[in-house]
Structure 1
Amino acid sequence: MHNIFLALAGFFGATGIILGSLASHALKYKLTVSQLALFQLGVQYQILHAIALLAIAIWLHYRHDTLIKLIGLCFCLGILFFSGTLYGVACFGLNSITAPIGGVSFILGWLLLIAVAMRRPKITPHNQP
């Protein structure tokens, strides 16, 4: 599973850079200031969470945990629904009804990260005092 998240981190990172470049060069003359701001906000959240997804992939490589996988899934859904909706609203005037789903996914992912961090480690023969 960590390889999937690693590949998705690369994909979301690369497409975030491409979309940011597109906004800076081609779209700045076609969108209003508020539309461009929405688009750029989508890019910022996409790149930030691509980096977080990279960290999740590395973490999963060393610790197989269902909650960590769920964090990665939440970040992926957040990118798709939040950033994707902002791109659609900015460029095509689409309804922003799915943006809250993405926002909640991001928040849930970060809250799950806290839950994983606060759990007591399991005692195994490798980490006994």
Structure 2
Amino acid sequence: MHKTFLIWAAILGALAVILGAFGAHKLQELVSEKDVHTFQTGVTYQFYHVFALLAVGILYASYPTSSMIWAGRCFLIGILLFSGSLYVMTLMKTTGDVGLRKLGIITPIGGLFFIAGWICLLLSFLKK
């Protein structure tokens, strides 16, 4: 299972660089500075949790617990929900379509998955 987390970390890390470059260069032509900041928040948290996912993949060899697997899953889900919702909300504003304003409720759910991932990581260390 740890190899899967390492693969996802590599893919999501590359994607974070691509999205960060897009946000820094092209996005500012399309949306307000506030919206660019929202997008960059998604990129920043994606990067943080890519490193957490990398750590899970590496640490699984020493701490092969179900909590470690759940930590990785929570980090993946958190990236999808937290960062993904910020990307979608920002990109919707580029088209002027902001009809899905309720999409913002997904962002804090993603944050809860990030927190759960860190707690699962802690539990892995305490179990061994």
Common topology (TM > 0.5): yes
Are 1:110 and 2:118 counterparts? yes
1:40-119 alignment, distance < 5 Å: 40-92=40-92, 93=98, 94=100, 95-119=103-127
Give the gaps of 5 or more residues in structure 2.
93-97
Are 1:26 and 2:26 counterparts? yes
> Which of the pair is proportionally richer in helix?
2
Q: Which amino acid aligns with 1:79?
A: I
Q: Could you tell me which residue of structure 1 aligns to residue 8 of structure 2?
A: 8
Partner Cα distance (1:57, 1:117) in 2: 14
Moved over 4 A (4+): none
Task: Give the number of equivalent residue pairs.
Answer: 120
RMSD of aligned residue pairs (Cα, Å): 1.2
Partner Cα distance (1:5, 1:118) in 2: 21
Relative contact order (C-alpha < 8 Å, sep 6+): which is higher?
2
* Cα displacement string for residues 59-96 of structure 1 (whole angstroms, at most 9, x for unaligned residues): 11333211000000000000000000000111103421
Give the gaps of 5 or more residues in structure 1.
122-129
